[in-house]
Amino acid sequence: MSFIIDYYNYWIVVFLMMTGFYIVISANNLVKKIVGLNIFQTSVFMLYITMGKVSGGTAPIVAEGVTLYSNPLPHVLILTAIVVGVATTAVGLSLIVRIKRAYGTVEENEFQNEDDAI
């Protein structure tokens, strides 16, 4: 049982990562690909935060009578990564809007066909 608890978080992270990866490589629709990318990204965040956790510790904000804190460093890295992640998502979505306007579709195979026709 302790073996499962020790590694459960990592396995879920791998599962989420692979789910996101699968959506990115198999989906035809670009919006869905972005969602897959975000799922992948969140799984990486989860991995970092999992590594920073200390059992029995508490959030890294100083409080009286607390001696054991979780590791604050991964939190800092991920906090900024989330904001940057949403910024890149916004750029990706605006690219999709432009693709829709240029080709009239956001399905990958359809606008590839149009490209081939030209």
Partner 1 sequence: MAVLIDLVLLAMLAITALRVIFLKDLFAVVMLFGIYSFLSALIFVSLDAVDVAFTEASVGAGISTVLMLGTLALTGRTEKENKHSSLLPFLVVVVTGAALVYGTLDMPPFGHPDNPVHEHVAPRYIEQSPKEVGLPNMVTSVLASYRGFDTLGETVVVFAAAIGVMSLLGIRRRSEDETPESGLKEHQVLRVVAKLLIPFVVLFALYVQFHGDFGPGGGFQAGVIAAAAFILYALVYGLPLAFQVIGPKFLQLLAPFGVLLYASVGLYSMFKGGLFLDYNTLASDPVAGQHYGIIIIELGVGITVFAVMLSIFYAFASQAERSNVQ
Partner 2 sequence: MSTVLAAVCIAILVVMALALARACTAPTVYDRILGVNMFGTKTVLFIAAVGFLMGRPDFLDIAIVYALINFIGMVAVLRFFEYTAPIE
What tokens does 47 get? 């991995």
Q: Are 86 and 34 in contact (CB under 8 A)?
A: no
63 binds partner 2 (CB under 8 A): yes
87 binds, among partner 2, partner 1, none (CB under 5 to 8 A by kind): partner 1
Query: Under rule CB under 8 A, which residues in 21-50 are in contact with partner 1?
Result: 21-23, 25-32, 34-36, 38-39, 42, 45-46, 49-50
88 binds partner 2 (CB under 8 A): no
102 binds partner 1 (CB under 8 A): no
State the residue for tokens 């035809």.
28
Residues sharing a CB contact under 8 Å with residue 100, sequence separation 6 or more, in sequence order:
106
Q: Are 20 and 39 in contact (CB under 8 A)?
A: yes
CA distance 99 to 105: 7
CA distance 12 to 28: 25
Beta carbon nearer to partner 2, 104 or 114: 104
61 binds partner 1 (CB under 8 A): yes
58 binds partner 2 (CB under 8 A): yes
Where along the sequence are the contacts to partner 2 (CB under 8 A)?
A: 58-59, 61, 63
